[in-house]
Amino acid sequence: MFLFIFHPLRKDIKVLLAAYPSMNLRSVLEPGTTLWAIQRMQWKAIGIKDEDFNKPKIAVVNSSSNLSVCYIHLDEVSKKVQEAIRSAGGLPFEIRTTAPSDAITSVGKNARYILPSRDLIVNDIEVMVEGALLDGMVCLSSCDKTTPAHLMAAARLNIPTIIVPCGYQLGGYLDGESVDWQDVYEGVGAYKKNLMSLAHLQRMADVAVCGPGVCPGLGTANTMHMVSEALGMSLPGSSPVRAGGEKLFQMASRSGEQIVSLVERNILPRDIITERSIENSVRLVQAIGGSVNVVRHLAAIATEAELDFDVVACFEKCADGASQLTSIRPNGKYRIEDLERAGGVLGVMKQLSPQLHLDAMTVAGISIGEVLSKVGGVDEEIIRPLHNPFKKEAGLTIVRGNLAPDGAIVKNAGIPSHMKFLKGPARVFESEEDAFNHINDFKPGDVAVLRGLGPKGGPGTVFAASFVASLNGAGLAEKVAVITDGELSGELRGLTIGQVMPEAAEGGPLAVVADGDMVSVDLEKKRVDILISDEELKTRMAAWRPKRQKMKRSWLSIYSEVVQPISKGAVLGSISD
């Protein structure tokens, strides 16, 4: 039995608020000033009472949207959080942000809006919360980009914040067989190879999602939900959790109560997001075989927290001696709901505890060590102990070489053993669509290179994930390797090397690979190389020139001017950075 552990709202907080109304709250303005007068005018007009003006004012960040199933349940979650904040002595204000969905918002511009939406959310939050000088935040996190965005905003603003992971969807059944997001995603490749009819693919899509929430499995959304808890920024026991279930609403209420306590105690995100807590979350990701996209998101969170910390190097360090303690789809046969029942993040971290920094603080108001000391038994069929892992290797590996001097990421969890070493000819593509059009031309041993799809090259990271999923559906995932600076999904399987750094648009070596060049991948040595001489590589690099992009005025044109290197998380900066 797992306990929901949080710092309870002390009975004297309401007394404290009454005795010391302002609590040094930045939202309480000096009476008689212009800002005080116009704030009072606005807030009285919407029904705020005199006694509410001195309460902690909490932003409830809600990205509710009926464009995507990921977000359709968030209004009900928001209501629970707001009710709990009021009961605890605070004053909630719901604010809305962009609500990107990797399934829906990816339709336009070849998914170029997806990664830039993360940073747009961060700035949405800054404008609303800093503009009003609110005292704390509860962020309702759902699809892939909202959780990292909320953590980045918390790190940037550094006001008391709790992240509420808002849960996964359930898959459905077709002809007595289970079917979910991953099956549909890979089904496109089967259709392209004439292994599946369009009618059957449509039937799969029609039943693959049963209820609200993010796609099941260890994709980016569920992985980032779990990372938030491992960082200490979500209440213990928060993830994974089924969207729309009673447990989610319980966690929402507890988060609403706890945020008032965090404001009263002045526990800030930068007290929690530290090098030690980031390393804890890296160890969790290695143990579960989480999404490759976590590396860039953790780097972005560290950057926003102004930590001089190399997240890529941390993944490299933690890979030594790491093991995979779970085998959750797409890595194995178990489902995300099995992981929840077995103990979730608390269960994995309990097994990992000898490797963790147990003094790291959490939003529960106690250390992760204190949290784990109260955790009961773990289902070791689903969450193995360190001495008996599913695989004796890290879930993610950083590889380097002359194709990726600053590193690239491989998800070991989904790679068959015979593909740990591969040497083959490069097939170079400048777009996912072009690669799709040639899927029937690939031969075993080919290396598909999809480039110019990174944050700057897109601009906004362009999908390569659909192509990789189609390789799976076409039966080629165990025969063809993929190397890309484009956007991948945590749901993928096969030998895929992603987040190649530097990206091609920054003049990385990926930019000069030619069709037919032999490429070597050696995962034992953690290397990815183009098999040409150093002199030839230098000659090509010297001759390379960036492509000039003619772009209309848009969010993407602004993003392309200010996005920083992906090794720093592809956060936004000034042109001079």
- Active site residues per annotation: 489
Q: Specify the amino acid at residue 232.
A: G
Helices and strands per DSSP (H, E), number in the chain: 21, 14
Print burial letters for 283-320: b (CB count within 10 Å at least 16), e (below 16): bbbbbbbbbbbbbbbbbbbbbbbebebbbbebbbebbe
Contact 81, 255 (CB under 8 A): yes
Tell me the CA distances in angstroms from 301 to 118, 154, 156, 274, one per residue in order: 11, 9, 9, 10
Instruction: Give the C-alpha separation, 227 to 473, whole Å.
Output: 29
Tell me the CA distances in angstroms from 342 to 212, 335, 353, one per residue in order: 22, 11, 17
For 59-106, give the DSSP string: EEEE---SSSTTTTTHHHHHHHHHHHHHHTT-EEEEEE-----TTTTT
Instruction: Identify which of 556, 512, 542 has the alpha carbon closest to the alpha carbon of residue 530.
Output: 512
Determine which helix (DSSP H) or strand (DSSP E) holds 174, and give its type and residue range. Answer: strand 172-174
Contact 507, 467 (CB under 8 A): no
Token pair 């005018």: residue: 41
Tell me the CA distances in angstroms from 531 to 402, 447, 456, one per residue in order: 9, 13, 26
Paired with 139 in beta bridges are: 61, 163
In three-state secondary structure terms, 469 is helix
For 415-467, give the DSSP string: --GGGSEEEEEEEEESSHHHHHHTGGG--TT-EEEE-S-STTTTTSPPB-HHH
Contact 336, 401 (CB under 8 A): no
What secondary structure letter does DSSP report for 108?
Answer: G
In three-state secondary structure terms, 187 is helix
Instruction: Identify which of 358, 345, 286, 295 has the alpha carbon closest to the alpha carbon of residue 321.
Output: 286
* Distance from the first to the final alpha carbon of the chain: 50
Residue 34 CB: number of other CB atoms within 10 A? 8
Paired with 172 in beta bridges are: 179
Instruction: Identify which of 109, 122, 113 has the alpha carbon closest to the alpha carbon of residue 571.
Output: 122
